[in-house]
Amino acid sequence: MTDSPIPTAPAALVALAQDVLATEIAGLAAVRERLASPTPEKTPLVLALRLLAACAGRVVVTGIGKSGLVGRKLAATFSSTGTPAFFLHPVEGAHGDLGSLRRDDVIIAISNSGETAELNAILPALKSLGASLIAMTGREDSTLGRLADVTLNSGVPREACPHGLAPTASTTAVLALGDALAVCLMHLKSFTEKDFLRYHPGGSLGQRLRLKVSEVMRTEGLPLLPETISCMTINSASRDAISATRYGIHSVCSRAGMSMSMPRVLKAPASPWNGSSRPLAERWPRWRTLWANSVFRRP
């Protein structure tokens, strides 16, 4: 604990919060500038994207502590944007979960120091599987950085924590760098809003991108009755058609395929249509002698 007075005045708290954000912005700026290179095709970012875009398996994100929590979010972002991914806890991996990995997977390992014991303990096993390894670390010369096929430097000038201990600016940098990978992959894969909806049908995002009727409408195997069917037998025929297809509704169609619906009035007594021919048959005997095409109207 420090002996300096703790700022409690509203203005001091606002200023402190602004300092935190400024520190994190500076961290993001450092990561952003580090991506620039006179030879873009050789930059770690592009090399990592090539591995991820060519991945025939899944992207496996791993890390522990705050890095692990950020990793879970990144795995979820990859999955919802067209790149199948899941999170692997390093300790669980060391106790059997490495069995879920395959040679054609790409692993993203996150550690700010690059020396996290629990994570580095499984690196030899990860390498032995033959899967590609991408490191996201603040120290390229660390154990993790040296063992990785591609190392993305996520280092920041300093943490926003006043003691320089709690992961703050560093985890923000990893999160943003992971988002940059995901968005670049969306571009490389021509991932569209329609694709996004398939993986995210719920919530307000799903409501904004609902499927169109034409995409879910069935056009084959429908319960259709011919227009020449007798009105006397239409009830039983419709029951059979609905039972056979389980659609709950049927249509009367002409030879040209045009659907007809709702009985037209001809000379029948006025009667609300309730989906059954029984009321008309009871009140209008001539109904039984007609063909469907003379009673139902075309839309």
| Predicted pLDDT at 199 | 74
Whether 58 and 107 map to the same domain: the answer is: yes
The runs of H, that is alpha helices, within 134-277 are: 143-147, 169-188, 193-199, 203-208, 213-216, 234-245
Residues 183 and 232 in one domain: no
- pLDDT computed for residue 131 by the predictor: 94
How buried is residue 275: exposed, middle or buried, by Cβ count under 10 Å (0-12/13-18/19+)?
exposed
Whether residue 161 sits in one domain with residue 287:
no
What DSSP state is assigned to residue 268?
A: P
Is the pLDDT assigned to residue 153 strictly greater than 90? Answer: yes
* Residue 239 forms part of a structural domain: yes
For 48, half-sphere exposure in the C-beta direction (CA atoms, 13 angstrom radius) is: 24
CATH number, position 60: 3.40.50.10490
Structure tokens at 33: 């500038």
**What pLDDT was estimated at residue 106?**
97
Residues 181 and 286 occupy one common structural domain: no
Q: Is the pLDDT of residue 142 over 70?
A: yes
Residue 183 shares a structural domain with residue 238: no
The tokens of 131 are what?
Answer: 């899967």
User: Is 217 a member of any domain?
Assistant: no
3-state secondary structure of 61: strand
Q: How far apart are CA 81 and CA 32, in angstroms?
A: 22
Model confidence at 268: pLDDT above 70: no
Looking at 208, 242, 257, which one is the last position of a domain? Answer: 208
- 128 and 252 in a single domain? The answer is no
pTM of the model: 0.68
Number of domains the chain is built from = 2
Residue 72's CB is within 10 A of a number of other CB atoms, namely 14
- Of 174, 208, 242, which residue is a domain's last? 208
Domain hosting 229: range is 224-297
Residues 144, 292, single domain; the answer is: no
How far apart CA 293 and CA 288 sit, in angstroms, is 13
pLDDT tens-digit series, residues 155-190: 999 999 999 999 999 999 999 999 999 999 999 999
If asked whether residues 118 and 48 sit together in one domain, one would say yes
Q: Residues 228, 234, 240, 246: what is their CA dihedral angle, to the nearest 10 degrees?
A: 90
Residue 157 lies in a domain: yes
Helix, strand or coil, per DSSP, at residue 250: coil
The residue among 111 and 39 whose pLDDT is bigger is: 111
Residue 216 lies in a domain: no
Query: Do residues 174 and 70 share a domain?
Result: yes
101 pLDDT above the threshold of 60 = yes
Nearest to 168 by CA among 44, 28, 15: 28
Asked whether residue 1 is assigned to any structural domain, the reply reads: no
Q: What is the DSSP letter of 230?
A: B
Report which residue type is found at 215.
Answer: E
What pLDDT, on the 0 to 100 scale, is given for residue 20?
96
How confident is the model at residue 239, as a pLDDT? 62
Mark whether 173 and 91 lie in a shared domain: yes
Tell me what the mean pLDDT of segment 201-223 comes to.
Answer: 65
Quick one: 230 and 115 in the same domain? no
Give the strand pairing for 150-153 and 224-226.
Answer: unpaired
Same domain for 199 and 257? no
Tell me which H or E stretch contains 137.
strand 132-137
| Secondary structure (3-state) at 152 | strand
Tell me if 63 sits within 8 A of 92, measured CB to CB: no
CA 139-142-144 angle, to 5 degrees, is 105
Please give the Cα distance from 183 to 283 (Å, whole number): 67
